[in-house]
């Protein structure tokens, strides 16, 4: 990798890289620890987002089926100890300290908890400590969980203003079609803009132990580049994948960040841009979609065509266009019940319903981020 200049890196490691047949790939982790320690010695800050707890703990259940939610949570509780113990032991051999952080979707979404997590990670990095982050699977349930560590890694990259996000996968990067099926598949080495065509190239997960696939990596890349963090997808199965990447011995796909010279996202906008869950969503018409995109204005109720979910005032909602594409996120000035009463209404009509002091914007521009 030429001109490697990143000073703050988030590395995502999936279960399939760390765990094989229920056992830790010790040699792989040993080599990774050595590579990371070399970066830390050069004053490069590194954060690792690591899966593997459930994959390690599931061997308590000798069954060839999906674990139930309580079984997954129990497996995570058992496996997380082994996972962190191994990270600690191997990194200590290279005089590098690690710290464990378990995050939930609520930690990433609630503004105060997001800021507290941000402060903790920054404090650890300032001390030369490598934070090892995982989702708190022992308490997460499907309805409110992050779901995959690709998105969690992107959220962490946003949170700490990382320069580079590295998503280790089981293939070299993004191909124009599935290389495991088509021999003529071509690797896309650089993506300057994540278009619908790029998204359609991604497929589901092929791993028996992981939850992510290429599509989750594309979503993660989109989250990261919005915050000015370039993203790389590359093969992590080989030994020393980090060293090979840095020294140009590894194929990869790089997703370029926002245009050079573009103003960085403000802290609040960055927080809004990476929400992992929403309490509801609204659909808007073509005129509203075009106005929001071209004029950077607030979302007004007159442009809303449908409201879904059970959200309250101040909750985050996703904004979707007529084709169902997620085009924006923001915090609502109205709850779901009130919002349904003002669909398609103009300012005067809203004031007749809720009084002269009623807010005329459904989402104010200051609380809105275009995706």
Q: For the chain, give every domain's residue range.
A: 8-255, 278-370
What's the predicted TM-score (pTM) here?
Answer: 0.80
Closest CA to 369 of 292, 258, 300: 292
**Taking a C-beta distance cutoff of 8 angstroms, is the pair 133, 103 a contact?**
yes
Asked if 104 and 276 touch (Cβ cutoff 8 Å), the reply is: no
Range of lowest pLDDT (11-25, 81-95, 132-146): 132-146
Tokens matching residue 108: 């990433």
CATH class given for the domain over 278-370: mainly beta
Give the per-residue pLDDT at 264: 57
pLDDT at residue 285, as a whole number: 93
Q: What integer best gives the mean pLDDT of the chain?
A: 86
Largest CA distance in the chain: 70
DSSP state letters, 88-103? HHHHHTTT--EEEEEE
Q: Could you say which architecture CATH assigns to the domain 8-255?
A: 3-Layer(aba) Sandwich (3.40)
Tokens describing residue 167 = 């998503």
Residue 84 has a pLDDT of 96
Confidence grade of residue 144 (pLDDT, cut at 50, 70, 90): very low
**Which residue is it, tokens 């022992």?**
138
How far is the C-alpha of 365 from the C-alpha of 362, rounded, in Å?
10
Tally the residues of the chain.
371
- Residue carrying structure tokens 């040993």: 30
Report the run of H or E that residue 165 belongs to, with start and end.
Answer: strand 164-169
């Amino acid at each position: 990798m030429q001109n490697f200049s990143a000073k703050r890196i988030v590395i995502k490691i999936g279960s399939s890289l760390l765990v094989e047949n229920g056992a830790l790939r010790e040699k792989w982790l040993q080599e990774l620890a050595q590579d990371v320690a070399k970066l830390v010695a050069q004053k490069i800050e590194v954060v690792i987002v690591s899966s593997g707890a459930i994959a390690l703990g599931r061997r308590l259940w000798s069954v060839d089926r999906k674990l139930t939610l309580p079984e997954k949570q129990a497996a995570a509780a058992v496996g997380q100890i082994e996972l962190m113990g191994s990270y600690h032991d191997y990194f200590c051999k290279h005089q590098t300290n690690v710290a464990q952080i378990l995050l939930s979707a609520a930690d990433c979404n609630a503004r105060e908890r997001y800021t507290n997590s941000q402060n903790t990670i920054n404090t650890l990095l300032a001390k030369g400590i490598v934070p090892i982050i995982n989702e708190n699977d022992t308490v997460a349930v499907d309805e409110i969980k992050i779901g995959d560590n690709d998105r969690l890694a992107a959220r962490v990259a946003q949170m700490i203003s990382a320069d580079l996000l590295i998503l280790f996968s089981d293939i070299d990067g993004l191909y124009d079609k599935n290389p495991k099926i088509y021999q003529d598949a071509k690797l896309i080495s650089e993506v300057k803009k994540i278009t619908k065509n790029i998204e359609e190239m991604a497929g589901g997960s092929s791993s028996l132990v992981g939850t992510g696939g290429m599509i989750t990596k594309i979503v993660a890349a989109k989250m990261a580049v919005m915050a000015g963090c370039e993203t790389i997808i590359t093969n992590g199965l080989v030994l020393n994948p980090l060293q090979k990447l840095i020294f140009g011995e590894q194929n990869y796909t790089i997703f370029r960040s926002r245009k050079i010279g573009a103003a960085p996202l403000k802290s609040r906008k960055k927080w809004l841009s990476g929400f992992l869950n929403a309490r509801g969503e609204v659909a808007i018409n073509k005129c509203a979609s075009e106005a929001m995109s071209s004029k950077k204005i607030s979302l007004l109720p007159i442009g809303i065509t449908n409201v879904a979910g059970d959200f309250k005032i101040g909750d985050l909602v996703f904004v979707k266009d007529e084709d169902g594409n997620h085009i924006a996120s923001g915090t609502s000035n109205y709850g779901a019940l009130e919002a349904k009463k003002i669909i398609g209404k103009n300012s005067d009509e809203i004031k007749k319903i809720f009084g002269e002091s009623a807010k005329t914007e459904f989402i104010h521009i200051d609380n809105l981020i275009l995706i």
